[in-house]
Structure 1
Amino acid sequence: MSDAPTSDEEFWDTRYRQSDQIWSGNPNAVLVREVTGLEPGSALDLGCGEGADAIWLARRGWRVTAVDISQVALDRAARYAAEADVAGRIDWQRHDLGVSFPAGAFDLVSAHFLHSHGDMPRERILRTAASAVVPGGVLLVVGHAGHPSWEHDPDSGVRLPTPEEVLEALELPDGQWEVLLSEEHQRSQTGPDGRPATRTDNTLKVRRLVG
Structure 2
Amino acid sequence: MENTDTQQMWEERYAESERIWSGRPNARLVEVVSTLPPGAALELGCGEGGDTVWLAQRGWRVLAVDIANNALQRAAAALEAAGGDLAERVEFQRHDLTVTFPCGRFDLVTAHFLHSPTEWDRDAVMRRAAAAVAPGGRLLIVDHAEAPPWAEHIHDHVFATAEEVVAGMDLDPAEWERERVERAGREGLGPDGQLGTLVDNVILLRRR
TM (normalized to structure 2)?
0.93
| 2:159 counterpart of 1:160 | yes
Question: Using a 3 Å threshold, how does the CA distance of structure 1 residues 196 and 39 change in structure 2: closer, same or farther?
Answer: closer
Percentage of matched positions with identical amino acids = 49
| 2:43 counterpart of 1:50 | no
Corresponding residue for 2:67?
A: 69
Q: Following superposition, which runs of at least 4 residues in structure 1 exceed 6 angstroms of deviation?
A: none
Count of residues paired in the alignment: 206
Alignment RMSD: 1.6
Corresponding residue for 1:198?
A: 197
Corresponding residue for 2:34?
A: 36
Output the amino acid matched with 1:206: L
C-alpha displacement of 1:24: 1.0
1:52, 1:195 → 2: CA distance?
A: 21
Please give the per-residue CA displacement for 1:148-193, whole angstroms capped at 9, x wherever unaligned.
Answer: 223444276x662111111111111131110001111223334456
1:83, 1:195 → 2: CA distance?
A: 28
Question: Using a 3 Å threshold, how does the CA distance of structure 1 residues 92 and 159 change in structure 2: closer, same or farther?
Answer: farther
1:79, 1:95 → 2: CA distance?
A: 19
Please give the per-residue CA displacement for 1:47-74, whole angstroms capped at 9, x wherever unaligned.
Answer: 0000111111111111100000110010
Corresponding residue for 1:122?
A: 122
Please give the per-residue CA displacement for 1:18-38, whole angstroms capped at 9, x wherever unaligned.
Answer: 111111111011101111121
Corresponding residue for 1:188?
A: 187
Structure 2: gaps spanning 5 or more residues: none
SS at match of 1:109: strand
TM (normalized to structure 1)?
0.92
1:34, 1:199 → 2: CA distance?
A: 17
Question: Using a 3 Å threshold, how does the CA distance of structure 1 residues 119 and 159 change in structure 2: closer, same or farther?
Answer: farther
Question: Using a 3 Å threshold, how does the CA distance of structure 1 residues 126 and 159 change in structure 2: closer, same or farther?
Answer: farther
| 2:21 counterpart of 1:23 | yes
Corresponding residue for 2:95?
A: 95
Corresponding residue for 1:178?
A: 177
SS at match of 1:66: strand
Structure 1: gaps spanning 5 or more residues: none
| 2:207 counterpart of 1:208 | yes
Corresponding residue for 1:144?
A: 144
2:185, 2:56 → 1: CA distance?
A: 28
Output the amino acid matched with 1:177: W
SS at match of 1:188: strand
